[in-house]
Structure 1
Amino acid sequence: MSIIIQCAWRRKLVDFRIKKWNRAALDIQRVYRGHVARMSFWMKQVEATIQKRMSFINAKATLIQKIYRGFYCRKYVHSFYDRKHFIAAALDAGRGMKRNVQEYNLGMREKEQDATIKIVRSCIRSFWLTNHHLISTKSRNGLFYSPYIAVLKGLNDVEDRIVETRKEEERIKAKSEATQKAPMTRKPNRGRRRRRRDGSVTWAVDVTSFVTTEGPYGPTAYERRRTEEKAARLLDVGQQSFRNVVRSRWKPSDVLVNGCTMRMQSEWRRKEILRALEHRKKSTMYLRVAPRPFFISPPKQRRFTCGPVPPLGS
């Protein structure tokens, strides 16, 4: 019986001791796990705090950098009035350059025209000085000299004599043209002397009107026509070439490729050539600014970027 009691008591003691040890182990595990969990939570909290602080500091640093960088460029890029003033100044500079070029071209053109006009005037003056006697109305010995002046001691009315002579020439010319339109035909009832008299009407002239050096009968109609054409060519200054005067002072650009100089052209052709030369000078000498995007150069020793510059009007 005592053995059974001892076994039961010993079993009770062992059970009590095992329960005590288990409770102690559970307490130790509970405390240790709590300590480990608290340490892990604290470490994570520290890491989160550090990350939050770094992100806050980075955000503020970025803001400071934006403000610092924008201080130098916002008054050039983001200022509408400054950009407007810059564009207006650029346009004014372009207009001033264009105006200066136009004034220079106008001055050069006026100088060229003045030089050409002086040359042409000198040529015309020399021409009239050497050929003025062809159209002079002054009386000369042998020209419009009437025998009635020496006989009757009258006045030599040169103007009336010129008018009468001109009328006589027109009458003779009309009569000669009428005679030339109806060609002479040989008829059996007309003699040689009569045909000669009819044929001589074309160059017959009244010797009482004036005395010339060609003879008592005057020049023929053909000779008079040739003389008038020659005088008209000499008196027509527009047909004078002035080639020997103008060519040495003319530019190669003013000479046509398949023609002669400008002074040899007609009035219409001269205007066309001048218009073409004017267009060529404008296209070659005037400065034309190509369209480019808006660009602003920041101050020197400041290297940074603030993104693309927005276009005008955006």
Structure 2
Amino acid sequence: MKESATYHIIERNEWKELNKNTVAPLSHQELEELTGLNDRISIKDVEEVYVPIIQLLDVYIRQYEQLQAQKNKFLGKKTISKPYIIGIAGSVAVGKSTTARLLQTMLSRVYKNKTVDMITTDGFLYPNAVLQKEQIMDRKGFPESYDMPRLISFLGDVKNGKENVTTPVYSHEIYDIVEGEFHVLNKPDILIVEGINILQLPANEQIYISDFFDFSMYVDAEPAQIEKWYLERFGVLLDTAFTDPDNYYYSYAQGNREDAFAMARGVWKKVNLRNLMEFILPTRNRADLILHKSGNHVIDHLLLRKY
């Protein structure tokens, strides 16, 4: 096992040995349903990489529950269950959503008496009408495009055990917030929050998203590799979702394919790559666990924070 100043650097062949003969708690079909477009993950990946992650999280969750109970005992207060919140960060197209969905399913199987919920910070993007009014539509996904006060208020309500907390719903079909539609969380025991911006430092806020996290993860890969996945996913969407007339990108699916890919490469370079290099990647070393991917979304090594 290699070491850096702040991380244990663990190669995959070392990491898989941490799984003490535990099989994947889901079927091949379930795994296929959880896997995102052009993502790649197998039952072998689950057993070698994700089962040890769940076992590690179990250590942290048990410690968290004990600390909460002891703290309340010290203060002479009744123990109130507060959710354990896990944050998952990383670039667009790196596979954060698949990781989040997979962990949600696996944690639900392990903790049969706990509610495990998941949200994405996409729901806290300002509606397109607001972005257009502020003339920052081309900065969608950048820090200023999110309603941070609302997201922080939401996380505060959830962390403090408030019932029936709502989050806006974002649609990747219309590329906008769905007006009048909400996701409701009713005091989950474990909450997974997935988003490109979850580990970013505050600008003017006194608190920030990461202040609410009990454990954070960053899904990592080389930018050139992520661009390849981004364009592969775009091609799949051109052949499937973008053929819906209501889809934001419908016109590109109906037009010249080379022009469509030229547009996608421009979006990657001007928006997604710039956002990655300026705002997302600099937050990587704030994560408790980094999952590094090579080609075909294969996790080849992990970095676990020492302290």
Give the TM-score band, short-chain normalised: under 0.3
* Structure with greater strand share of residues: 2
- TM-score relative to the length of structure 1: 0.18
Of structures 1 and 2, the one with the larger relative CO (CA 8 A, separation 6+) is: 2
- TM-score relative to the length of structure 2: 0.19
